[in-house]
Structure 1
């Protein structure tokens, strides 16, 4: 069945709300990064902006997952919307009164990162509760596609608001608050809590249990494999490629104008096209092998991009990388949800998020350090090559264990919806 999740009650409005939230997230990135650079010209502050986005996942994803297991996830996501909105208002006030200081930026960037980390496990539990395990791959993939659409629309809207003299950064940040309102209101209406399908109550939360889930992960080989795969994606490539695109644009003779814009949007375009294309096929597969192969395609696309000096080939490689990244990440997320124990699904989602998103905080160090030693193209190529090696090794492990009859490495049922 094509676009199966869209047939689930309450899913369409939830998807639209998520797209608007992600658009607001990236409007804020576009405006505040511009303002910070214009005002302070600080590479350290620019680097901290990236780190602050992902460190909250590294440190907070597991506790936030435990919270999602125990509380109404509508209220958790609404709290995230409120925090996102308050941060936008704070930016608007500080910029408008010309009192913005670097320490203000640090606090607001950290709060923004915490907002994203806080809503992530709750969002995944809402998807499971909303669509059920049978069409969960469709639900996760469509939401991932929608979020990538928000990543495309947000910077474009932010740049437009900056370019209009009557609006500028102050009113741009104030208007950005409106993008969080529809999701907040929708969550007040929907009866989905994230727990309606749960038949087993979560155990009482103790402090030692906050990280104890990491000791349990090896008992669930499929989850461990997905954490290793997406952790490698985050660490060896992560978000380090985007800040380096100006250098690649220069190498390709496309450091400004339409060519550079195409480089900026190529990966998100590939992700959106890939997500919609797979939904249109009407057959949804959720397996560890599919997630690993898709992540390998992501690495291959980035590797080709790094070594290519042909603009059309580089553009095609980024589109392929975007497609592989979306399919790999959404499939891995689905496998984790299906394989996790029912009473602690949020905690295991948090552990997965710690690896998949938290490790992105280190990608700038890994890729940046390599680029400083052997050049930008070489650094990205080595990172992509390392991801490919990890993916091949993990794929061999899965294949060998399945041949020995070990189904635990791939318990996420292959769901055919045709």
Structure 2
């Protein structure tokens, strides 16, 4: 039978509950998902073009490392301001303003590249501006997501949102690498168009949210996100584990060197290498969207980060492109488990009025583990060579996992995503 007439009340109730847990049943989330897909697509294409241009101009691992640092530093400088703005103003408008500026920056680089003026200094200036915009955009998007779906649907929404990002990471670098054959201006112009598309999609999002309380700016309000995280050992342990483990294990800044000098491929090979972690991450995100983690989430997170370190070691010593890509796929899948657990813990345990400030602090940790990790990898590669740099990073990740399991026993023992352990004696209550 095709109709509902034969369903019992219990079946109807179960169907309604299933629908409530399906993030795509909410129009606002669907628009959000496609906007994130578009902006991630654009950012990854932008990154491929910048990385290839910079290495073409300099042939320097140090300069590649500085590209990562130029993306990361704005998030540190702006962390307090970005979180406060995300909690004080309509988050949709904040994100759209960032995307409009990102589109203008990408378009400016396209014009400079077409005219032969895209030297190292102009590229770095544009990278810093993009980094500043992402310092506002990333935590604001994180804080916006929980307002688009009910709490019981959030873990699946986080996984699906991550799948949008990872789809962009897969296709963006690959397409960016192939389009680079036609020239850097084509890549930058395409990225500008995708930033603008995301801007338009978010303009269509309709949602209800309580008007933010317009309280005076104070040091206490600016630092509230940091204080909130310090009071929760599970959250602090989760985001600091990501910071140190992925910072040491991050080797993405060295992919141009691996593509050109170690694996002997061209720009197309760089696109494939940059896409490989996202293949694993996307597969894992889709799996977690249908089978969300429910038990032993702390131990699962530590195991995933340990696998991340082992995959980094394999990639570091590989000289065969298929094996290198397989290691990166495994690396991406294990990292996605950590991302979903960390993001869900942070968002579920944080009141909406503080999500912007807490997400801003969290985004600095994430940025440090990525952009600052690229800087660290570039510096080590300049001193010891790219292979030694990646191997050292993989070993460091495994040591961090062992240390954090002892330093944060509450995180190791965390069982359910939405069933936090009682606060340790002497800790302030969640209300502060």
Change (3 A) 1:24 1:231: same
What's the CA shift for 1:185? 1.8
Instruction: Single out whichever of 124-133 and 174-183 deviates more from structure 2.
Output: 174-183
In the alignment, structure 1 segments of 5+ residues that lack a partner are 404-408
Distance 1:214 1:271 in 2: 29
Distance 1:105 1:260 in 2: 19
What's the CA shift for 1:150? 0.8
Q: Count matched residues.
A: 401
Contact 1:220 1:339 in 2 (8 A): no
Residue 243 of structure 1 pairs with residue 235 of structure 2? no
Per the alignment, residue 265 of structure 2 pairs with: 256
Distance 2:407 2:300 in 1: 14
What's the CA shift for 1:142? 1.4
Residue 64 of structure 1 pairs with residue 79 of structure 2? no
Counterparts of 1:19-34 in structure 2 under 5 Å? 19-34=37-52
Per the alignment, residue 186 of structure 1 pairs with: 201
Contact 2:156 2:292 in 1 (8 A): no
Counterparts of 1:342-357 in structure 2 under 5 Å? 342-357=352-367
For residues 153-202 of structure 1, the C-alpha deviation after alignment (integer angstroms, 9 at most, x for no partner) is 222222333334xxx33344334322123322222221236x45x9x848
Distance 2:159 2:356 in 1: 18
Residue 217 of structure 1 pairs with residue 235 of structure 2? no
Change (3 A) 1:259 1:347: closer
Counterparts of 1:27-66 in structure 2 under 5 Å? 27-38=45-56, 45-66=63-84
Residue 94 of structure 1 pairs with residue 112 of structure 2? yes
Contact 2:280 2:332 in 1 (8 A): yes
Per the alignment, residue 428 of structure 2 pairs with: none
Residue 328 of structure 1 pairs with residue 338 of structure 2? yes
Distance 1:373 1:97 in 2: 35
Change (3 A) 1:266 1:156: closer
Change (3 A) 1:362 1:171: closer
- Secondary structure in 2 aligned to 1:340? coil
Contact 1:302 1:384 in 2 (8 A): yes
Q: What TM-score, normalized by structure 1, do the two folds share?
A: 0.83
Contact 1:222 1:410 in 2 (8 A): no
What's the CA shift for 1:324? 0.8
- Secondary structure in 2 aligned to 1:190? coil
Contact 1:74 1:187 in 2 (8 A): yes
Per the alignment, residue 406 of structure 1 pairs with: none
Distance 2:352 2:369 in 1: 26
Distance 1:133 1:314 in 2: 39
Q: What TM-score, normalized by structure 2, do the two folds share?
A: 0.81
Per the alignment, residue 307 of structure 2 pairs with: 297
In the alignment, structure 2 segments of 5+ residues that lack a partner are 1-17, 421-432
Per the alignment, residue 230 of structure 1 pairs with: 242
